[in-house]
Amino acid sequence: MKTLVIMPTYNEREALPISVAHLRATVPEVDVLVVDDASPDGTGAWAEAAAATDPQLNVLHRAGKEGLGRAYLDGFRWALARDYDAVVEMDADGSHRPEDLPALLAAAQATPRPDLVIGSRWVEGGAVVNWPWTRQLISKLGTGYARVALRLTVRDATAGFRVYPARTLQRLPLAQVESQGYCFQIDMTWRVARARGRIVEVPITFVERTQGTSKMSRAIALEAITRLTEWGLDDRRRRWRLRVDRWGQALRRRA
């Protein structure tokens, strides 16, 4: 399975070399795409220099900080244009362990074939290391709210370590995706679920980053809450309209 690992970066100069080296040593068969948003700390320059000596390392430079969602969408398009079979989302800060990736890739090739494989912290066997309780609470509340608002069954909808088969990305309307941050992960999960895709969760161990700073902010959290509420209300209105239409059709048939 021809696989591309996408790593979005913004000011990850300290963490990226370690993460790439660990990934390349652990899963040497995969290719890597660093999507850098013109990091002022030189992350993109380091990636470009490293790619010059590693044919499996690629770099996509963007003009400025445009957000996680757009970084992944650009990476998806890059992968699809080059006929990859599977596309992996993976953080560049070391929080996603490369030794967990083989299990995710194996799940992506299992029968019946899933449409999305999520590396989950909140299923049996999953764990977090060195994460403050506040971040754990935010993550669990975010997924809990998504489960209620969007009728999702996924236990870790905000997870950023996941595998998309190329056929899934080809089928989804990527041009319509506008969400960013953690909301992007929920958005994509919901789109797969609404398309009746099969979603599989594989337990992983999430490790709090040791270099750089988290990109989590109040604005990202607010976007997630706002969009989830809007999507949930829209979904309920749509379901209600369909129910009313069915009732109307039934009454007309009886008349």
SS3 letters for 171-217? HCCHHHCCCCHHHHHHHHHHHHHHCCCCEEEEECEEECCCCCCCCCC
Q: Which of 41-45, 75-79, 110-114, 236-240 has the lowest mean pLDDT?
A: 236-240
**pLDDT value at position 215?**
57
> Reduced to 3 states, what is the DSSP secondary structure of residue 96?
strand
Instruction: Report the C-alpha gap between 161 and 104 in whole angstroms.
Output: 9
- Domains of the chain, each with CATH number or no CATH: 3-254 (3.90.550.10)
Give the mean model confidence (pLDDT) for residues 40-68.
96
Inform me whether the pLDDT recorded for 83 exceeds 90. yes
Those residues whose C-beta lies under 8 Å from the C-beta of residue 106, and which sit 6 or more positions away, are none
**pLDDT value at position 162?**
98
Digit-coded pLDDT (tens) for 206-240: 998 666 565 555 666 667 677 777 777 777 777 77
Give the CA count within 13 Å in the CB-facing half-sphere of 244. Answer: 6
